[in-house]
Amino acid sequence: MSSPLLAVSGLTKRYRRGGKTIAAVDDVSFDIEPGETLALAGPSGSGKSTVARLLLRLIEPDAGRIEFEGGDFQALNGTALRARRARVQMVFQDPLAAFNPRASVARVLDDPLRIHGIAARSARPRRIAALLERVGLSADLAARAIHEISGGQRQRIAIARAIATNPSLIILDEAVSALDVSVRRQILQLLLDLQREQRIAYLFISHDLGVISAIAHRVVILDAGRVAESGNARAVIGTPQSAIGKALVAAAPRLNRTGTQGAADRQ
């Protein structure tokens, strides 16, 4: 059996609040294979974004281990950490909040190429044009400011920026939640195409089981920081075992409304 791309075990993060200690993430374990989509589902406050921040090493865990591409992610520092950071990218719900809204599209795409030394200055405009084409956008968009383009175009730019560093894992935190249904369907299709072509794994964070059923192979459902249940996406969504799984299914009555084929069915 091949080793997983990402193996998380016993991950725990506690916060002090109002004189009490709460575990935002409590003994959470899961893994992701290369080229796989694992969804992290759960209601608001269940710990999904905290897991993402731990995986990006924006915050440090109180306990647990994160192995990425065969090495201890937490032990990395300096150049090795920077190199690994290029391999794990993030797409947020709102690119307007993630990037300077007045920055040009070209600038937003140039940054990762420059920071991670992906391409020499003279080669970068060509790389930017190729990235735009890869996410279905015209090269003319490069000169526009982020705030001038549509929400769907912005999310395509966020994806282009994420793939600029040739990542093996992209963490998508509610990345399609703010989009209307037809744009959402197009973005999900783009993610599926990129995954097929480049064998990128996704950690797809969402509270919406309808979207998850369209894109994820497996799902982990969190409740109050703990894993409530996990397994094949079709099985978990079809027959949830936990109370929180049942509640999330009930809140998504039109499952697979995105119109793409369910990922768990494509295996």
Per CB under 6 A, residues contacting ligand ATP are 15, 17, 24, 42, 44-50, 207
Select 23 or 108, whichever has its Cβ closest to ligand ATP: 23
User: How far, in Å, CA of 38 to CA of 62, rounded?
Assistant: 24
Q: How far is the CB of 167 from ligand ATP (least distance, A)?
A: 21
Q: How far is the CB of 155 from ligand ATP (least distance, A)?
A: 18
Give me the torsion for CA of 16, 208, 226, 170, rounded to 10°: -80
Select 17 or 121, whichever has its Cβ closest to ligand ATP: 17
Q: Contact, 119 vs 107, CB < 8 A? A: no
Select 26 or 36, whichever has its Cβ closest to ligand ATP: 26
Strand order across the 201-205 sheet: 88-91, 169-173, 201-205, 37-41, 218-223, 226-232
User: How far, in Å, CA of 187 to CA of 189, rounded?
Assistant: 5
* Beta bridge partner(s), residue 28: 11
User: How far, in Å, CA of 110 to CA of 81, rounded?
Assistant: 21
First and final C-alpha spacing in the chain: 17
Select 106 or 172, whichever has its Cβ closest to ligand ATP: 172
Q: How far is the CB of 92 from ligand ATP (least distance, A)?
A: 11
Select 47 or 112, whichever has its Cβ closest to ligand ATP: 47
